[in-house]
């Protein structure tokens, strides 16, 4: 009876491992898809662009309503400068978000793969002499720090 239960459990474990292994490996190798990057970027920058387009339209409407051109050129110039500043800031924040999110997803996938193999990732890292806080230093905003961790066919490299 116990052998039958063990065999069923082993078969279920192998089936789930065969399904999950390629999925987790795919996430570890490509944590954020190009479509996801494009969609998030377009949503963020599109909303920002729409706001500045509305402000420019308000300025044009005021000019048409009052027929007073005083200050119109300066206002549109300042709106263009501010749009550039805010777009640049938004793009920098998006890159930081993508980096942190990719690292978080990659680590979760590596932990999942280690779990499929019956390993505890923190134990593996400790055995390799890597303190846990170093693995998440980059995600916590550590600038200029990079490391490489090679786990079989997967690699986690600092970029």
Per-residue pLDDT of the chain (159 residues), as tens digits, is: 888 887 887 777 777 778 888 888 888 899 999 999 999 999 999 999 999 999 999 999 999 999 999 999 999 999 999 999 999 999 999 999 999 999 999 998 888 888 877 766 666 556 555 555 555 554 455 444 443 444 444 444 444
What is the pLDDT, as a whole number, of residue 86?
A: 95
CA angle 148, 149, 153 (to 5 degrees): 120
Q: Where are the domains of the chain?
A: 2-130
Whether this model's pTM surpasses 0.85: no
* Cβ-proximal residues to 51 (8 Å cutoff; 6+ apart), any chain: none
Question: Which residues are registered as beta bridge partners of 156?
Answer: 149
What is the pLDDT, as a whole number, of residue 144?
A: 43
What is the pLDDT, as a whole number, of residue 1?
A: 83
* Cβ-proximal residues to 159 (8 Å cutoff; 6+ apart), any chain: 146
Tell how strand 148-151 and strand 154-157 pair up: antiparallel
Q: What values do phi and psi take at 155, rounded to 5?
A: -140, 145
96, two tokens: 């930081």
What is the pLDDT, as a whole number, of residue 150?
A: 42
What is the pLDDT, as a whole number, of residue 113?
A: 85
What is the pLDDT, as a whole number, of residue 140?
A: 52
């Amino acid at each position: 009876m116990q052998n039958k239960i063990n065999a069923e459990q082993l078969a279920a474990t192998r089936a789930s491992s065969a399904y999950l292994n390629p999925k987790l490996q795919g996430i570890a190798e490509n944590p954020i898809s190009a479509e996801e990057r494009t969609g998030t970027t377009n949503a963020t920058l599109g909303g920002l662009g729409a706001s500045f387009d509305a402000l420019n339209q308000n300025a044009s409407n005021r000019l048409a309503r009052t027929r007073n051109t005083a200050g119109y050129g300066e206002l549109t110039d300042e709106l263009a400068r501010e749009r550039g500043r805010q777009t640049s800031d938004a793009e920098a924040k998006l890159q930081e978000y993508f980096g942190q999110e990719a690292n978080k997803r990659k680590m979760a996938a590596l932990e999942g793969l280690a779990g499929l193999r019956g390993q505890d990732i923190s134990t593996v890292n400790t055995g390799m002499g890597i303190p846990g806080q170093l693995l998440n230093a980059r995600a916590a905003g550590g600038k200029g720090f990079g490391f490489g961790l090679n786990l079989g066919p997967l690699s986690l490299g600092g970029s």
